[in-house]
Structure 1
């Protein structure tokens, strides 16, 4: 087989599938589990942890672009050991916009986050990131989401990076 044929075969195999013909408008919800990396005051303190939560959202399919909103709630096991602090819960309000790629939805996300801790005041911040949801078997979907959270007050600057896997149902 010539090099050109190999390159053409590889390009066809690796190219994203055609845009989904189905309408992605509607409500969805599910569960998510993930991990976090925490950076306080530009590396002065660090931490990590895991989370499990639920999410609920709604998409509006405008042809080539899908817009939507989502709210999620996590029970966290985030810890910054040297500060003796934990983050117990996080609630996020997110706006999403994306395109149908490879059989699923590739999207960007931005929004607000509220984190609660028994040791610290409630933290309010903003978030941004990317995600991908892939329909599987009927009305189900699986996906992943990578988010960067930023919190800032007079004494602290906290960055939290989360990576979550998602499993849900489209209503």
Structure 2
């Protein structure tokens, strides 16, 4: 409940923020925001899987070369995805690079990078991610978008269990 309240307050702050002088089709600059979505976690162990809501914060920087945009960012998601009796995925950190095509005030991109997932009982483990996304400049300082990511964690924390996760999230970003 606290996560939903925090995300709603963040969205309200973005919408109430003053307009900047930046053009709608220029993605150069820093951004910060929030994301909310759904995560589906699977493993190579029989019966060990789960899905539930996730949400978190984002921070990054993009450089717009005209038709092409390159950038990088970090994400942190809170989660409560039960995958087995007493085992919950509680968080995911990501460090990502992204590159894509900019037309008008839209950006379609591919992304890849490093991920670290944490659980309440099995510790944490690192892996990789890849995905696609779309971002739309609603105002010069506000972007809305969506992102689909695939994560893979081989031999999760030395347990011999391979974990994969797919997330889809809707994002709101304030652009500086």
With normalisation by structure 2, the TM-score equals 0.80
Pick one of 28, 31, 36 that aligns with 1:33.
36
Question: What residue is the counterpart of 2:164 in the other structure?
Answer: 159
- Partners in 2 of 1:21 and 1:134 — Cα distance? 9
Kindly indicate whether the alpha-carbon contact (under 8 Å) linking 2:24 and 2:137 is maintained by their aligned counterparts in 1: no
CA apart distance, 1:63: 1.9
- Partners in 2 of 1:150 and 1:115 — Cα distance? 10
CA apart distance, 1:84: 3.1
Give the aligned length: 151
Q: Deviations over 1:87-146 (max 9, x none)?
A: 111110000000014631100000001111120121101000000010003310100000
Question: What residue is the counterpart of 2:173 in the other structure?
Answer: 168
Specify every segment of 5 or more residues in structure 1 that has no aligned partner in the other structure, as ranges.
1-19
Pick one of 98, 112, 117 that aligns with 2:100.
98
With normalisation by structure 1, the TM-score equals 0.82
Specify every segment of 5 or more residues in structure 2 that has no aligned partner in the other structure, as ranges.
1-22
Question: What residue is the counterpart of 2:77 in the other structure?
Answer: 74
Pick one of 49, 53, 56 that aligns with 2:56.
53
Question: What residue is the counterpart of 1:16 in the other structure?
Answer: none
Q: Deviations over 1:38-89 (max 9, x none)?
A: 11107653211111100000001112210000101111111113x5310111
Runs of 4+ aligned structure 1 residues displaced above 6 Å come to none
RMSD: 1.8
- Partners in 2 of 1:44 and 1:97 — Cα distance? 37
